[in-house]
């Protein structure tokens, strides 16, 4: 791919800006960046080389690989699904295709009508700095990464003013409100990205994610933006779920991996 439409470039720039809050961003050549988080080595959202709007030579690819392998991290590379040349180069270099990321956009207020299994009252709160720990524990519980709370809390506190953090509370009947889910909004390049959308397991199926998306979409009007976008890996099988809210597929990215373990390429 030699030419890229502006919405595509803006979504890619938004994502890179968000990832730079969670990982160390390293420029290796012109507009080519890689992201490394040594504390989250198996997470290929935050550890990746992004080639979605750039080409790379085999020599520079090897240098990028070396950066990851020095830190005992597998090398993950993202490319647009229609960029056949880069995909062939990666395969020749020993990479394998492991996942696909769907990039979805929402240009209208999502439909909130849903048949929830359990009647649930919900409220969405914008997180204050003093409540960061609550958001972090909710996020880690939702994604089952409780061991990463310290690292994520440190990153969030460092970049708190650059994001909008939302948390949902739910209650059934006369029970006291309990934290049910969370998400993060990141505004950059004139668009808003919705990230970290998660629901604590016991509250799934009650419409909390839908309500968080709807609340996040309200910020498009607040900031005079055209649409909201999010990403989901096909391995998580959630694209159909988001389509029920009104999300439309914008494009796909393929994730390639080269494994490295104890000094050896696997």
Q: Which domains does the chain have, with CATH numbers?
A: 6-104+252-265 (3.40.630), 121-226 (3.40.630.30)
pLDDT of residue 265: 58
Residues in the chain, pLDDT under 50: 1-3, 116-119
pLDDT of residue 29: 85
pLDDT of residue 260: 82
Summarize pLDDT for 73-85 with one digit per residue, the tens.
999 999 999 999 9
pLDDT of residue 264: 53
Query: Cα separation of 194 and 177, whole Å?
Result: 24
The sign of the CA dihedral 32, 258, 101, 141 is: negative
pLDDT of residue 111: 67
Query: Cα separation of 141 and 215, whole Å?
Result: 21
pLDDT of residue 176: 82
Helix, strand counts (H, E) of the chain: 7, 13
The sign of the CA dihedral 135, 139, 141, 142 is: positive
Query: Cα separation of 83 and 266, whole Å?
Result: 25
pLDDT of residue 1: 41
Closest to 18 measured CA to CA, from 41, 38, 48, 39: 48
pLDDT of residue 5: 72
Summarize pLDDT for 85-140 with one digit per residue, the tens.
999 999 999 999 999 999 999 988 876 655 544 446 889 999 999 999 999 999 99
């Amino acid at each position: 791919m030699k030419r890229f439409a502006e919405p595509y470039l803006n979504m890619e720039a938004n994502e890179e800006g968000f990832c730079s809050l969670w990982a160390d961003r390293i420029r290796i050549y012109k507009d080519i960046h890689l992201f490394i988080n040594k504390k989250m080595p198996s997470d290929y959202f935050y550890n990746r080389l992004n080639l979605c709007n750039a080409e790379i030579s085999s020599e520079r690819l090897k240098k990028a690989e070396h950066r990851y392998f020095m830190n005992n991290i597998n090398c993950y590379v993202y490319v647009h699904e229609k960029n056949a040349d880069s995909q062939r180069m990666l395969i020749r270099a020993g990479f394998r295709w492991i996942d696909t990321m769907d990039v979805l956009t929402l240009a209208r207020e999502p439909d909130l009508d849903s048949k929830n299994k359990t009647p649930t009252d919900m409220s969405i709160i914008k997180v204050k700095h003093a409540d960061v720990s609550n958001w972090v524990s909710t996020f880690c519980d939702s994604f089952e990464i409780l061991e990463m709370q310290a690292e994520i809390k440190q990153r969030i506190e460092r970049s708190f003013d650059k994001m909008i953090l939302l948390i949902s509370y739910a209650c059934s009947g006369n029970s006291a409100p309990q934290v049910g889910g969370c998400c993060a909004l990141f505004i950059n390049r004139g668009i808003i990205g919705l990230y970290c959308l998660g629901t604590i397991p016991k509250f799934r199926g009650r419409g909390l994610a839908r309500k968080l998306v709807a609340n996040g979409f309200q910020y498009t009007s607040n900031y005079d933006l055209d649409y909201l976008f999010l990403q989901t890996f096909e391995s998580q099988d959630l694209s159909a779920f988001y389509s029920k809210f009104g999300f439309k597929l914008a494009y796909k990215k393929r994730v390639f991996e080269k494994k490295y373990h104890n000094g050896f390429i696997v």
